[in-house]
Amino acid sequence: MDEKLMHRRLRRTAVIIVLISLLLILLEGIAMISLQKNLNETIKQRITGEAEEYQGMIMDQIYANLQSLNTLASFIRRGDLDDQEYFARRIDEANKSNDFISMMFIGCDGLNILSTLGQPIQVGFNRDKVGEEVSQLIDRNMNGEMGVSQMYLSKVVDATVFVYGVPVYDEDGNMLGSLLASDNIDVFFDMLNGSNVLNGAGVLHLVNQDGQFLIRSPQMIVQKEINSIFDGPYWSGEDEKQKARTALQNQQSFFSSFQYDGDTYQFLLEPVGVNGWYLFCLNTPQSLSGDIYSMVRIMQIVFFIVLLMFVLLMIYGYRSLRRHNRELRRLAYHDQLTGSDNMVRFKQKLQARLERSEGLSVIAFNIRRFKFINELFGKEQADLLLQYIATVFAQHVREGEFFCRDAADSFYVCLSDTDNGRVLEWIQSFMDEIGYTTERYNSNYRVVLYCGVEVCQDGSCLDEQMLTHALFALENAKGTHSDNIVFYDSQLQEKQQLENRIESRMHAALKNGEFRMFLQPKVHLEDGKLSGAEALVRWVSDSGQTFYPDQFIPLFERNGFCIQLDIYMVELACRQIRSWIDHGIQPVPISVNQSRTLFFTLDYLEKLTGLLSRYQVDAGMITLEVLEGIALENVDQLNLRIEQLHQLGFRVSMDDFGSGYSSLNTLARLNIDELKLDRAFLMEISGGSGERTRLIMEQIIQMVQHLGISTVVEGVETEENDRMIRDMGCDFGQGYYYSRPIPADEFSKRFMQQ
């Protein structure tokens, strides 16, 4: 972020405050609408709950009366019908002992009896005179159904009544007739007009399927006389009326609201469950949810207070941002240790240069064994070294060129040159100045730098792509003992493509058994006999192509796949030892390389013991080899793991000793069983370093043997090498002089005695 952009954003902050405030007001409006919807839903739920309660009360009353009538019917016997006067008196007594207006028996054989309170008993009257509503109920009873008739105006009692009816059977289950009882609609009146209806502030009416009032509460909201709810002011239009009529016909609930005399009312049509009757429930939202209205009002006040506080905080933040933007910019774009640009700022500058289509070069730098420098000289001296390197960078870059420190010892430089020769000269000049730091740090230690270079001739490259290529070249520059410079070119691109192919196939290759175990013999120098072998991996694809470890092992160490491969190699070693035993061959120990990632994995010991158990192999036949770099990180942690492995019976070897910055003091603290000296010792002796290297090597062997650790020298390629390490007193030798690594089956045929 540049300075102009920072100021533009600061100027926009005030506009943002206003926009956010408007947005909050809009959100408040949305929230109020949402609350209103929730309020309506709450009202609907509460009215529905109340209506269902009264609907249950009505149904309970109807059910109780039907049960009473059904009980009376159960006492009627066929013999009772033979004495009509006696049976009529029984019907009359039953009627007087209940709350019914009248009771009636309609017999299948034509015996019809009617008992009405305050009137003489009628025997043998004509059934056709009972009316259509009662006649329909009698037909239902004769079909074995109990039920309730529609309401009708009774001429007998001159009142609106409805009739209960149940079938009557004799003791053999044969139909005798229908027993009926009439009741006044007023039986529900008190129930629907109590003082606590709908929390004491609502009104309940009873209507039929056509919307006509059956019971209209005297506490009605709409005072004018109307016969049907569709004649009242309850509807917003004909469409709503039609929806209500459809709901009534389908016995569905219907909820809505209407305006009347300046107030808003909600109403619910809830089916009773019998004869198409409906409860028509009305109430005001204030009466049902006055507490919710109060809460909404409080929320509005709180919202505006919060909005005001937000605006004040935004203004305060805006002013604070103006005061501290320089410090923020420094923290955002500069490395705190060296004061140089950080990676974020570097990428911005690089992208700006590429957008102008300018040719340039990007160089990635690393310090060899920087962790060791940190440990050997201390963090303070290591930090001084990084600051010194940043100072030298600042002195070497020209106008328009820039550099950054990313993290730890990673530096990046952008140069304007695109000629490989001039870029190489610039890097070499820089390395020469950094190289020796004797005067600055009072040490003869020489700082070694690795660097990877990506050159873009015309500025058509992408910034991330250039950084990725520079890093890839840097990774290929590592591993040597002196300054090394690698340019990203077509060969590296092919290598990168190869790594991509390898990474895409590695899991399938492991599953298909494409990783093969090759064995290289380890010779006992005292008698020249075979004493063991080292397991080395080769990848032979299905097509027959062979990949060597240097092509895939570094990649597997970076992506973590080495954990699976190393355990697989231990399994192959166990399998080979088991095969020798099964064929009656005296096995020899096999050494297997183990990566640091696997060595400290939580379930590492569990996996090893599982393999030993599966193949029934003695742990002493397996030597686990680790690189010396592990010891430099945490000796105590390494010793703890070694002790755990010793308890299981494994032997532990340190591989490639001398390839890095080995510490003899660290070596003395390690509880390893074997030390393998790197081939670099023999190469340096052969290359002219002669007596000094020979003397160092001989002293290391003698010292290690005094510690009870056996020694192995790698890279034995000539008879002279073999004779020299014998003279030094080394225990074992390994190298091409004895044999190159060969497939396990070939190794068995060549070296193992049947």
Reported as a single tens digit per residue, the pLDDT across 137-165 is: 888 898 989 989 888 887 777 778 889 99
In a 10 Å sphere around its CB, with 0-12 CB exposed, 13-18 middle and 19+ buried, how is residue 731 labelled?
buried
Q: Considering only residues 733 and 85, tell me which one the structure prediction assigns the higher pLDDT.
A: 733
Assigned domain for 12 exists: no
Assigned domain for 226 exists: yes
Assigned domain for 360 exists: yes
pLDDT score, position 236:
85
- How large a percentage of the chain has pLDDT more than 90? 35
Instruction: List the structure tokens of 302.
Output: 């709180």
Residue 363 near residue 412 (C-beta atoms within 8 A): yes
Instruction: List the structure tokens of 513.
Output: 């058994």
- 215 and 155 share one domain: no
User: Binning pLDDT at 50, 70 and 90, where does residue 287 land?
Assistant: low
- 630 and 670 share one domain: yes
What predicted TM-score, i.e. pTM, was given to this entire model?
Answer: 0.48
pLDDT score, position 662:
57
Q: Considering only residues 457 and 723, tell me which one the structure prediction assigns the higher pLDDT.
A: 723
- Show which of 187, 208, 236 is a domain's final residue: 187
Assigned domain for 51 exists: no
Top-confidence range, 42-46, 56-60, 333-337, 744-748: 744-748
pLDDT score, position 201:
62
pLDDT score, position 611:
96
- Helix intervals (H) in 214-284: 238-249
- Cβ count near 687 (within 10 Å): 10
- 539 and 646 share one domain: yes
What DSSP state is assigned to residue 544?
S
Distance CA 453, CA 472 (A): 9
pLDDT score, position 443:
56
- 93 and 177 share one domain: yes
Assigned domain for 588 exists: yes
Assigned domain for 296 exists: no
- 477 and 523 share one domain: no
pLDDT score, position 467:
92
Distance CA 652, CA 626 (A): 8
State yes or no: pLDDT of 475 exceeds 60: yes
User: Binning pLDDT at 50, 70 and 90, where does residue 294 land?
Assistant: low
CATH code: domain of residue 481: 3.30.70.270
- 248 and 145 share one domain: no
- 676 and 597 share one domain: yes
Pairing of strands 402-405, 278-283: unpaired
pLDDT score, position 493:
74
Q: Which helix (H) or strand (E) holds 627?
A: strand 622-627
Among 389, 421, 312, residue whose Cα is nearest residue 21: 312
Taking only the tens place, the pLDDT of each residue in 550-602 is 889 888 988 889 999 999 999 999 999 999 999 999 999 999 999 888 888 98
Distance CA 384, CA 52 (A): 83
- Give mean pLDDT, residues 403-418: 93
State yes or no: pLDDT of 325 exceeds 70: no
State yes or no: pLDDT of 129 exceeds 80: no
User: Binning pLDDT at 50, 70 and 90, where does residue 639 land?
Assistant: very high
Pairing of strands 515-524, 732-734: antiparallel
**β-bridge mates for residue 412, sequence order:** 364, 404
Q: Considering only residues 62 and 743, tell me which one the structure prediction assigns the higher pLDDT.
A: 743
pLDDT score, position 94:
86
Distance CA 499, CA 205 (A): 83
User: Binning pLDDT at 50, 70 and 90, where does residue 718 land?
Assistant: very high
Q: Which helix (H) or strand (E) holds 523?
A: strand 515-524
Assigned domain for 415 exists: yes
- 513 and 444 share one domain: no
Distance CA 260, CA 263 (A): 5
Pairing of strands 449-456, 484-487: parallel
Assigned domain for 362 exists: yes
pLDDT score, position 545:
85
In whole angstroms, what separates CA 188 from the centre of its chain?
A: 59
CA dihedral (333, 336, 340, 346) positive or negative:
negative
- 128 and 238 share one domain: no
Instruction: List the structure tokens of 719.
Output: 């008879």
Instruction: List the structure tokens of 580.
Output: 């020798």
Distance CA 166, CA 162 (A): 14
CATH code: domain of residue 600: 3.20.20.450
pLDDT score, position 92:
87
- 642 and 746 share one domain: yes
- Please state, in angstroms and as integers, the Cα–Cα distance from residue 173 to each residue in 164, 166, 167, following that order: 21, 14, 11
CATH code: domain of residue 241: 3.30.450.20
- 171 and 247 share one domain: no
pLDDT score, position 438:
44
Phi and psi torsions of 384, nearest 5°: -60, -40
Among 396, 395, 414, 415, residue whose Cα is nearest residue 404: 414
Taking only the tens place, the pLDDT of each residue in 32-60 is 677 667 767 777 777 787 778 888 888 88
Q: Which of 8-17, 343-352, 552-561 has the lowest mean pLDDT?
A: 8-17
Instruction: List the structure tokens of 487.
Output: 């340019």
Q: How many domains is the chain built from? A: 4
- Show which of 187, 207, 222 is a domain's final residue: 187
Please give the residue range of the domain that contains residue 545.
Answer: 505-751
pLDDT score, position 625:
95
- 623 and 518 share one domain: yes
Residue 274 near residue 59 (C-beta atoms within 8 A): yes
Q: Scanning the structure block, which residue is given the tokens 């820089």?
A: 430
Taking only the tens place, the pLDDT of each residue in 647-678 is 999 999 999 887 655 567 778 888 999 999 98
